[in-house]
Structure 1
Amino acid sequence: MEEIYKGEEEYKELELYNPDLETVSIGDKISLLMNTEKITKELDSKIKRVNYCVFGNGSSTRIIKNSKGLNLSEKGNSAYVYVSVVAEDNGITKSGSGFKVSNDFSLFDADTVAKDAVEDAVSKLNPVSIESKQYKVIIKNKAFASMLGAFTGIFSSDNVQKGVSKLKEKLGASIASSKVTLIDNPHMKNGMASSSFDAEGVPTKYKEIVKNGILTSYLYNLKTAKKDGVKSTGNASKGGYKGTLGISPSNFYMKEGETTFNELLESIDNGVLITSLSGLHSGLNSISGDFSLASEGFVISEGEISSSLKQITVSGNFFELLKEINLLGDDLNFGLSPVGAPSVLISNLNISAD
């Protein structure tokens, strides 16, 4: 049975709404898009077309009221610009993208978004094949964030209590490298999932779910917290007012390290850089942790990025991978998701060339 929560006296005040965003004219939005598209075409002759160049913005208000006197509301807004391009050389075509998310329109820079998209596409041209074997691997921040996002359910107390998470009875145990700290921060400035209260009206709070490799807590709502005899962590979630009550992280991320991306590269004589992962819904098992994912990336030779790779498959086990993290980059990135990560250096990972 779901509990009706009476609320607390204090909630964290967050600045989630920027009224200036609502005053941006249609003309300014169109100008941003036209400049972005124009720059992408001028940066490199290999860019043959722009598939998408879009801008979107929206606002929302969350209100929770109940018969016990709870009366909470929170308003927020956000916007994004996204461009996707296609590069071609020697009969080979590759796509790339660039984007920016913010509720401050002044931070949208056409040059930066265009440059990111062009570099992403052009760098993938003229790929080579490699031998199938184990390699030292760097998983780039956005790629690792996507993998981490696919496994956030293992930290849900509901899944733990149902026996569908391998983290059951692991509180206080080492589940990852001592370099790994996983944070759930609902109060992050400009965070995509920032909020002062959850779907039950419980105040949200900053917490380190894994600290220096040690599992310190699960994510709770009121029902699962009562079952374990603990307090809710403020992670109750609903898709809407008619939605089923569940548990979700807020801004969930791996704490960044102090190593620059170039220093990560320099630490490898020969290895592989993974820049994107696909098949995250069908190519992994969140219960066992096993994964086999189609990937894009580059050869690392003598500490530098050399050739792009033809499609490869990376396989392993997520729980073992967490223990094999040797270095963390200082380049924490969230991409288009509330789950973020820095680039990570993995000791050994299976790479299969198609």
Structure 2
Amino acid sequence: MRNAPAREMVEEASDFLIRRAIKKGAASADVLYSFGCGNSLSLRDGFPEKNTSGTSLGVGLRTVDREGRQGVAHVNSLDAPHLEEIVEWSLKNCTFAEPDPFIRLSEESLEEMPPLELEDSHITELTHEKRMAACTEMWQIARDADPRVISVRSASWGDGGGEVYYRSSSGVSGWYSGTSAGCSVSVILREGEIMEMGGAGDDSRILSCLSPSEVSLQAVKRAALVIGGSPLPTGRYDLVIDGESAASLVDVIGELFLASNIHKNRSFLKGMLGKQVSSPALTLVDDGILKKGLASAPFDGEGVRCGTTRILSDGVAVSWLYNMKYALMDGVPSTGNASRSISGTPDVGCSNLSLRPGRWSREDLFIQAENGIYVTELLGLHTINPVSGEFSIGIKGARISGGATGGAVSGMTIAGNMKDFMMNIDLIGNDFKYYGSTGACSLVVRDVAAAGS
């Protein structure tokens, strides 16, 4: 990795931290190191707006005492005085924590990791000129795609790479590295006195998988679909939710399956393992070892091998996602979903979460949701109550009539309970795509209460 410290230096520093922590009284300790480099460039209406490059380095030490108290400290240097300092701070922080009998370090070997294809040399070889060419192309295509475009507010490019090292007092150690690149466009359209903003973006581990021109056209298309939208009469509608909005829903549902949320009473799925919690149309899989996946890694933040976990199978909740603590509490193996920064203790998080695609084309979905609403934006998903399931969120999109989209729709609110909403998901499209680290496709939700005019 360009400009990164030599791996031997990182390994020596990590070994020093662990030996020093144990010598000073820690029962166990582990180190998480990360290095990253990145570049970003953006144009606003064809003029340069941002052009930055930088690197970051961090090393975090977690110490655990004999009562299970955890203390974490981190520093952005490998210099010996700084390393000595975080040993003291980490041990000090232990004294402020509560004892926890479920804290353990992994003893799993990280040898012979699967090839995940997380790096692309073409990304590390990108020049400023190539980034500028991509942004200029996006600006020009978006500007010319529709006569109603009055501003290309942003045509942006970003790329970078990084590497991670984990080491523990139990003898576990491992490295991995990866690259990624992404582009996005936001536009403003005007029709008479009405203006509408829209955007689109894409990112990937592999440079050749990105299409700046397609992103530009998609941004304009999304804005054009909803410009001049008005509310439909209040009533109950079938919704066809597009893939990107469906991905946002999948993220919300995935949070309900985190073992930490289950144990902290932050999920209405508590006590529902093995039971039907959605329609049989839904199957969700979390895949931490997906090749080229943006959230893929050979091991998680605790040095546990990542894997593939089906959490929802034909509507039945079949597994939670675990780190070591909650796995020990439930008497099951960790699923390799420990989420952790260098400055924090391990929690649980999703990796590459995906919805299993169905067999229906988008046209099929429109036909089967006659007189429904095609939803391209869900506004306020963060307000969904994960405990009760109650929600009230805004939507934008277009009316469905005659098997096709008609007039633009906005200013409407859908309300209900996620328990019912998940049960009413009826049809799944075949237009599967990853939106970041979440895979989804268009889907139909039946009989949703919507407030409008």
Q: Does TM-score exceed 0.5, indicating one fold?
A: yes
Larger mean Cα displacement after TM superposition, 211-220 or 11-20: 11-20
Aligned counterpart for 1:271 among listed residues 372, 391, 403 = 372
Cα separation, partners in 2 of 1:78 and 1:134, compared to 1, 3 Å: same
Q: Does residue 49 of the first structure (1) align with residue 151 of the second (2)? A: yes
Structure 1 equivalent of residue 41 of structure 2: none
Question: Displacement, 1:71?
Answer: 1.0
- The residue type equivalent to 2:402 in the other structure is E
List runs of 5+ in structure 1 lacking aligned partners: none
Greater RCO structure (CA 8 Å; 6+ sep):
1
Q: Take 2:279 and 2:434, find their aligned partners in 1: how far apart are those partners?
A: 21
Specify the alignment match of 1:345 in structure 2. 444
1:84-95 aligned at under 5 Å gives the runs 84-95=186-197
How far apart are 1:10 and its partner, in Å? 4.6
Q: Is 1:237–2:339 an aligned residue pair?
A: yes
- How many residue pairs get aligned? The number is 351
Check the 8 A contact 2:369/2:444 in 1, yes or no: no
Corresponding position of 1:210: 312
Structure possessing the higher radius of gyration over alpha carbons: 2
Which letter maps to 2:373?
A: V
Q: Quote the residue 1:293 is aligned against.
A: 393
Q: Return the alpha-carbon distance in structure 1 between the equivalents of residues 278 and 119 of structure 2.
A: 37
Contact 1:12–1:203 at 8 Å: present in 2 too?
Answer: no
2:296 to 194, 202, 219: 194
Structure 2, gaps ≥5 residues long: 1-67, 69-102
Q: In structure 2, what residue type is equivalent to 1:231?
A: P
| Alpha carbons 1:268, 1:302 under 8 Å: kept | no
Amino acid at match of 1:258: R
Summarize the Cα distance change of 1:40–1:232 in structure 2 as closer, same or farther, 3 Å threshold. same
**Counterpart residue number, 1:184:** 286
Question: Structure 1 pair 103/154, CA: closer, same or farther in 2 (3 Å)?
Answer: closer
Q: Do the aligned residues in 2 keep the contact of 1:279 with 1:293 (CA within 8 Å)?
A: yes
Aligned to 1:3: 104
For the aligned residues, what is the CA RMSD?
1.5
Counterpart pick for 1:321 among 409, 412, 421: 421
In 2: Cα distance, 1:103 partner to 1:76 partner: 8
From 393, 399, 408, give the equivalent of 1:308: 408
Q: In the aligned structure 2, how far is the partner of 1:280 from the partner of 1:179? A: 22
Once the two structures are TM-superposed, the CA of residue 14 in structure 1 deviates from its matched residue by: 1.3
Match for 1:246 among 347, 353, 357? 347
Which residue is equivalent to 1:74? 176
Question: SS state of the match for residue 189, structure 1?
Answer: coil
Greater shift, 189-198 or 79-88, is seen at: 189-198
Partner Cα separation in structure 1 for residue 114 and residue 200 of structure 2? 33
For 2:212 and 2:425, locate their aligned partners in 1 and report how far apart those are by CA, in whole Å: 35
In structure 2, distance between residues paired with 1:113 and 1:242: 35
Do 1:39 and 1:110's aligned partners in 2 also have CA atoms closer than 8 Å?
no
The aligned runs of 1:35-46 (5 Å cut-off) are: 35-46=137-148
* Alpha-carbon shift at residue 129 of structure 1 (Å): 2.8
Which residue does the alignment assign to 1:139? Answer: 241
Write out per-residue CA displacement over residues 128-186 of structure 1, whole angstroms, 9 at most, x where no aligned residue. Answer: 33101111111111112112213422111122223332222222111111121010011
Specify whether residues 174 and 83 from structure 1 end up closer, same or farther in structure 2 by C-alpha distance, changes over 3 A only: same
Partner residue in 1 for 2:356: 255
Deviation at 1:267, TM superposition (A): 1.0
* Letter paired with 2:356: K
Structure 2 residue aligned with 1:99: 201
AA of the residue aligned to 2:368: S
Amino acid aligned to 1:321: F
